[in-house]
Amino acid sequence: MNKKTQKFVSQCNIFLIIIFSFFFCKEKPINKANISNKAPDFKVPVFHLAENLTNKEISLATFKNKPAVILFTASYCPTCEYMFKAFAPYVHQGVFVFGVGAYDKEELFRLKIKSIKPQVPVAFDTDNMAKKYGVEVLPHTVFINAEGKIHATFYGTMSEERIKNNLKDMGAIK
């Protein structure tokens, strides 16, 4: 293939990924069988610290007795950056929010996080968290209540209203 054709094919692929993510990856609740079950334990090293975390690893014990949100993301996910921004206001309201890179190359994920500078801590999945939490599609959001039970899980991009309603429903915000 010549350079012009390669560029066209590359642009078409990017366009198709964006179209797919906006039309097919809308917010959807999933895995109702796991709702209200104790959240699976994990321990992952943090590579992007934020003001709400000073330790170098995150585990279920990190947010014991606090509501939490886990954002499973990847460098190739076009809507994941939006999810980080959508949850940022709730960090200052006592919700422990953090991102986990899943199904990605660690180097690419680290570069993406460095470029977007999220206001929440970020780790890379080194403990099979994605499998433990049933992650198949990204972005994937898990809401965990203060009792350590899964309140809700969603895949795809969530609306700000849906985010706020889920945080209210689990008693994380007023």
pLDDT at 92: 86
pLDDT at position 3 is: 75
DSSP assignments along 14-83, one per residue: HHHHHHHHHHH-B-EE--GGGTTSBPPP-EEEEEE--TT--SSEEEGGGGTTS-EEEEEE-TT-TTHHHH
Tell me what pLDDT residue 75 has. Answer: 94
pTM of the model: 0.80
pLDDT the model gives residue 43: 93
Output the six-digit token pair for 76.
């190739």
Reply yes or no on domain 27-169 having CATH 3.30.930.10. no
Q: What is the pLDDT of residue 78?
A: 86
pLDDT of the residue at 9: 57
For the chain, which residues make up each domain, given as ranges?
27-169
The tens place of each residue's pLDDT in the chain, 174 residues long, gives 677 776 665 665 555 555 555 444 444 444 444 566 899 999 998 888 765 555 688 999 988 899 999 999 999 998 888 999 999 999 889 899 999 999 999 999 999 999 999 988 999 999 999 999 999 989 999 999 999 999 999 989 999 999 999 999 999 998
Nearest one of 4, 102, 123 to 53, comparing CA atoms: 123
